[in-house]
Structure 1
Amino acid sequence: MPDTPLNRFAAVQKSRSVISSEDADDSELLFPMYTVSLDVLLQMKKVRRHEELLDAGVLIKYRSSLGRAMFISHQWLSDDHPDPDGEQLEVLQAAIGNILTGKSSVHVPVITEMTLGRVPTPTAADLRAQPLHIWYDYFSCPQGGDLMAKSRRQAAIDSIVSYISRCEYFVILCPALAHAQQQSMLGEHTWAERGWCRTERLARELAARGDGFAFVIQSSTHQHLVLNGVRHLDAPGSGQFTVASDRTKIGRVILQMVWKKLLYLLEQGDLHNYRFLLNTQARCCFRNLNTAPIESLVPAFVPRADPCTEPKAFIVEHFLHENGFRTLRERDHAGWTPLCYAAMSGRPGLVEALLECKANCNDKIAKPKLELGFPKHMNVLSLATHFGNIEPLKALLSARASVGARASIRSIALHWACLSDNVEAFRILRAAGSDVRAAMLPGLDSFGVACAGGSCHILQEFIAQEPRVSLRHCLHYALIVDGASKPALATLIEARADINEQLRLTQVPWRMVFAIYGLKHRVSPSGLTTLAYHHHGATPVMGILNHWLLTLLAGIAT
């Protein structure tokens, strides 16, 4: 390991053991972590408020010595009660009961299995291994209207990040149900738009632990795994808040989360993910918040360049110091160079300074980052595009970065603009000569990628600018890759996509993929093999592709 200030700083953090076990410092909890046991949850007839459960003696102050904990993240079904008719509760009880009895299981999404294989999922044995304790906001936080209750409720809210870090299971409860007052259909897509739900998700991703599972409960029989990072572009500050002042409150909470995670990664010696978080925090954590990202964490910076006469050289020196690099061409063990990280950061002038100091505008990552779907040889133009960093994107194009440079899966930067639903980047790349017809494996052009990503704004841009764009298999692509969202589906259906179209793949890569997984289906079935085995002739409304399409269509109609 090279001797850099960052490596020395990491060694100091490791020796101090800055981050201890989840219960080591209960002073982090401003309010006790009240939970109910799984048995109590399964016997409930309705969702009762915290005070009632406390008086009934069924609330437990959770500690890890009592067993495992499960955090329930969900949307309220009315303005003044989370679940007035017990509909969400019924789904939660039935889903957990079905997992415990083997009637259902947490499946791996198709795109996850294609990328990472059959990753582990929580099983009945996992849930039974130790006593299970459930944290649910209405149970666990005071609900009264007096000053004392309000003060305690705020203390509990301020402790939610610590609660999540103590939970081995993070459950997104999002069955398709109507909101009592708004008369809108709620589901996973609307959950993902809520600012507080995004904050809870980010707290899970930044928790100082590497175990446990996060999964979605859509119904009593349909649950699927969610990996950390799947929604990494969903910054909490860009979400919706019922109370506008909450956006200000979460800034300091997220700052604490990022600080602790950075120190934890240093303690673990995980310098790649330390650099990744350090350079994506502005976009993924603090966007639209009045909170500055963490900088100048590594001590002992001694510049050679004069910031007054050589400002760009000074910027480069400081960036290399903070990220533990000695030269612009150096690659870390993950195969990333300084420019790869800088392209994600969005810091004004940074990429321009690196390019002026002879960084390669066509640089690329040498190894894949599978958990985020980043392929081997993904270039810096694609990284800047994916994270929506327009100024770095323009700087790279000015330096003549290639808009047609391909990654190992044949993707170009335009595909990443489509996947991240970034219309501005899409327009800039098209103006620079990027070809919308270019296809990535296993045969998706830019429009197909936008369908697969559920990228509503890009789809609208395509349809407005290219009224004759082919809608062939667009709904299938959206559903196969788990990118379907109500706005995207509504856009495609309004554009007259055929909901009765039969899937008949002609591209050789698609046919090869489905042939291989179709053969596996007879021996070891899974969601992906089922799709591959039965895909030919399937229509979008057939449950084989996505058993939730009908629910989504009902939501669109509403």
Structure 2
Amino acid sequence: MTMCMPYMRGPTPLSRYARSLGVQEAAVEAQPLLLFPMYTVPLEALMQMSQVVPHEELKEKGILVEFDPSMGHAAFVSHQWVDSQHPDPEFKQMRVLQDALKHAMSSVEISLDVVTATVMPSAKSLPTSKLCSQPLFLWYDYFSCPQLENQAGGESRPCLSKAIDSIPAYITKCSFFFALCPVLENPSGSRLLTPATWAERGWCRVERAVHELGPCESWILIRSSIELELVVIPAVSPVGCLGGRPPAEGQFSVASDRRKLQPLLEEALKRKLLLLLKAQDFVNYRLLLNLQGIHLRGFPFPRHLEPIPGFQAEDHANVPDRSASVLVAQFLYQNGFSSVNETDQAGWSPLHYGALRGDVSLIQGLLMKRADPNRLTKQDQPSVGLPPFSSALTISVCFKHNAAARVLISAKAQIEGGLLKPMEFAAAGDNPEGVQLLHEAGGQLHVRSVMGFTALEIASCRGAASAMLEIVRLAKAEQLDFSGALWCALALKAEGGTASIVGWLLEHRADVNQSRNPWHSSLYGALACTKALQHRFGQQSKATRQFYHMWGATPLVMAMLESQYEGAATLIAAGAKLELCNSRGWSAADFIREQSVPDFLLQALAGNLEECKRVSTVAQSRGYAEKFC
């Protein structure tokens, strides 16, 4: 968390209120209610397990420990149940957790994903020494919550209900958050579990959101036994890992769960805002204050918190355009700005924060006060997934505030402004309306960005299916490089490596075996050379490893580098060659031998492609028609 002191001409109500919070510590530090004890499993006990048994059995054996922070660190394990009656009947998911923890403990750090490491220079990896610095205890639902009460047929499960209602409190007490998301089939072979399916589950989204609104925002995604990555961009950002997924828009088995979660998230937002104020971290306070609408999107009648008391609308009664003036004045008051053209330490102006909020009347009011629509931010912001030199228009289309984007375009906002253009973020944010809006205003679909990627390639690597369809509808077919989009889908982000995205690109005649070098732009090529040299000379990370092996790599090689096993199955089913080597002499077959991979890839290595074809069919049936019809 960046600790920022106010960057203003004099004290504002925001800075004065933040300083006053020292005497309100009890309110700021208020924790969610703990209605059921926080039972955990010590790391040593978990590493010796060979089957997943319920809470009651572990408790009887004395394995469960009621956690207290004085004992060490706790880690919350978020996961999908492999079967409806049992979380992990074949112990496959838990074995991945054991192996991943063993791998982490023997490593120096848990690296950022490649895209974050490339465009967010202020984001840092997690030293694994932090995992080992104190005894570690793990919270896992089947271990930590009662499972067997009233199995004789009664519906009442009071202890389980109390434990479920205590999940926000458990997460808040945890120093670490693991999303356990290996690619697995359920025992019947009718369903494929992946990071993408984890991110669609409503409760998994809630768990992630509560953690990200706590004191430790980053978390660890476990893709396989050796593939762990640190996620620093929150779920509300469309450009983060598995991002653009507010909790209320997730899938809930029990519909009533969605309604009861609204006050839970509103309280989490309030706590986080107060903690940021108490720390005088005004940059992150402003970001969260104006992201509230995204966090609560999908809930009925969400309330917008305005923590700074004392604003008087009457003070603006005798000014022209009173309603706009009052709205702007209240916004400046809550955000701690003295004027519309002021910037804070991150180089963000009120218009940038207004674009994040997406309020059309506010944007109009700020522009009436002569806010500059083309001012660029100065620093990257991992808290929202935006690089440095972003414009208000870029922020608007990234977060699908398209009405606000129209107002900015009318005010002569530059369509091609910023280090990364608005069109790139409309594509990455899966915003088809934004793509169309920018295209009509003169934005280019086929021109490569400063990093050398087209809008279709960016949408593909993000798995932004709606944006992909809109780009194809608007562009001329000869201008689109579907083979390049296929390579990007497998190379840059897990969201693009789904069977549905890969299958759709192959239907558009993408070459399944076309290799690529990173010299599609001089900047990206220079970056790739630098990272490859770092890897060769010992400065190794997930990002440097990928850049090292990128040269001459096929989509299948990139899929194996990124543990995109679902997409790899679809490539193999479509004729991708396992023995084609990159410029370093490594083939997809070599990576399969090196890694702990699903059985369908091992069978493909042995010459049996039928399992990859079956898995690809199962995976595409999950969402293919829904995304691309």
| TM-score (structure 1 length as normaliser) | 0.91
The offset of 1:518, in angstroms, is 2.2
Aligned mate of 1:47, from 19, 30, 52 = 52
Alpha-carbon distance between aligned partners in 2 of 1:100 and 1:201, rounded to the nearest angstrom: 23
Q: Which moved more, 1:426-435 or 1:67-76?
A: 426-435
Residue number in structure 2 paired with 1:401: 413
1:280 corresponds in structure 2 to 291
Distance 1:142 1:326, change over 3 A: same
Q: Map 1:325-404; keep pairs closer than 5 Å.
A: 325-370=337-382, 372-404=384-416
Q: What are the residue-to-residue correspondences of 1:451-466 with 2, within 5 Å?
A: 451-466=460-475
Farther off after superposition, 138-147 or 392-401: 138-147
Partners of 1:107 and 1:329 lie apart in 2 by: 38
Contact map agreement 2:75 2:176 (CA 8 A) in 1: yes
Q: Secondary structure at the match of 1:17?
A: helix
Displacement after TM superposition at 1:443 (Å): 0.8
CA positional deviation for 1:179: 3.1
Match of 2:516 among 485, 503, 508: 503
Question: Is the contact between residue 461 and residue 492 of structure 2 (CA under 8 Å) also seen in structure 1?
Answer: yes
How far apart are residue 145 of structure 1 and its match?
A: 4.9
Task: Determine the structure 2 residue equivalent to 1:74.
Answer: 79
Deviation at 1:241, TM superposition (A): 1.3
Code of the aligned partner of 2:16? R
* Most deviating of 142-151 and 199-208: 142-151
- Pairwise CA distance, 1:417: 0.3
Tell me which residue corresponds to 1:490. Answer: 503
1:435 paired residue number: 444
Q: 1:447 aligns with which of 451, 456, 467?
A: 456
Are 1:50 and 1:138, in contact at CA under 8 Å, matched by a contact in 2? yes
Picking from 120, 144, 149, the partner of 2:148 is: 144
Structure 1: distance between partners of 2:416 and 2:340: 24
Deviations 1:38-66 (CA, angstroms, capped at 9, x unpaired)? 12212222211122222222211101111
Give the C-alpha shift of residue 372 in structure 1: 4.2
Give the aligned partner of residue 117 of structure 2.
113
Moved more, 40-49 or 72-81: 40-49
Q: AA paired with 2:555?
A: P
In structure 2, C-alpha distance between the alignment counterparts of 1:265 and 1:226, rounded to whole Å = 20
Among 503, 528, 533, the residue aligned to 1:519: 533
SS at match of 1:329: coil
User: 1:254-295 CA deviation, whole Å, 9 max, x = no partner?
Assistant: 011100000000000011111110101111x10001252333
Amino acid across the alignment from 1:163: Y
1:127-206 maps to which residues of 2 (within 5 A)?
A: 127-146=131-150, 150-180=157-187, 183-206=190-213
Counterpart for residue 427 of structure 2: 418
1:93 corresponds to 2:98: yes
Deviates more, 1:470-479 or 1:426-435: 470-479
CA contact (8 A) 2:28 2:275 kept: no
In structure 2, C-alpha distance between the alignment counterparts of 1:500 and 1:292, rounded to whole Å: 49
Tell me by how many angstroms 1:521 deviates: 2.3
Question: C-alpha separation between the residues in 1 aligned to 2:367 and 2:520?
Answer: 43
CA distance in 2, matches of 1:113, 1:258: 27
Q: Deviations over 1:538-558 (max 9, x none)?
A: 111115863523443435332
Residue in 2 that maps onto 1:293 = 303
**Aligned residue number for residue 13 of structure 2:** 5
Q: Number of residues paired by the alignment?
A: 547
Does structure 2 retain, via aligned residues, the 8 Å contact 1:385–1:425? yes
Q: Percent same amino acid among aligned pairs?
A: 32
Change (3 A) 1:32 1:457: same
> 1:339/1:500 Cα in 2 relative to 1: closer, same or farther (>3 Å)?
same
Q: CA offsets, 1:93-120, max 9 Å, x none?
A: 2222333355x97443222332346833
- Say whether the 8 Å CA contact 2:460–2:468 is kept in structure 1: yes
Q: Deviations over 1:334-378 (max 9, x none)?
A: 211111111111235221222223222323323332454423321
How far apart are the structure 1 equivalents of 2:132 and 2:422?
A: 46
AA aligned opposite 1:131: P
Unmatched tracts of structure 1, length 5 or more: none
CA distance in 1 between partners of 2:233 and 2:545 (Å): 25
Structure 1 residue corresponding to 2:312, chosen from 302, 310, 314 = 302
Q: Report the secondary structure of 1:429's partner residue.
A: helix
The 8 Å contact of residues 35 and 62 in structure 1, kept in 2 or not, is answered as yes
| Rounded Cα–Cα distance in structure 2 between residues aligned with 1:362 and 1:196 | 40
In the alignment, is residue 65 of structure 1 matched against residue 82 of structure 2? no
CA deviations on 1:218-268 (whole Å, 9 max, x unpaired) are: 222222222242355321111111221111121111011100000000000
Task: Give the structure 1 partner of residue 334 of structure 2.
Answer: 322
The question of 1:531 aligning with 2:546 is answered yes
Please state how far the C-alpha of 1:175 moved relative to its aligned partner. Answer: 0.9
Residue 539 and residue 418 in structure 1: after superposition, are their counterparts in 2 closer, same or farther (change >3 A)?
Answer: same
Does residue 239 of structure 1 match 2:250? yes
| DSSP-derived class of the 2:389 partner | coil
> 1:173 Cα shift?
0.5
Distance 2:54 2:113 in 1: 35
| Cα distance in 2 for residues equivalent to 1:121 and 1:296 | 33
User: Could you tell me how far apart the structure 2 residues matched to 1:372 and 1:344 are?
Assistant: 9
* Aligned ranges 1:223-238 → 2 under 5 Å: 223-229=228-234, 230-231=240-241, 233-238=244-249
Which residue of the partner structure matches residue 14 of structure 1?
22
Distance 1:542 1:472 in 2: 14
Give the CA deviation at 1:420: 0.5
Q: Quick check: 1:334–1:367 contact (8 Å CA) kept in 2?
A: yes
Q: Which residue of 2 aligns with 1:556?
A: 616
CA contact (8 A) 2:491 2:558 kept: no
Deviations 1:135-159 (A, max 9, x none): 0011111223537962222222222
Question: In 2, Cα distance between the equivalents of 1:460 and 1:314?
Answer: 41
Paired amino acid for 1:442:
M
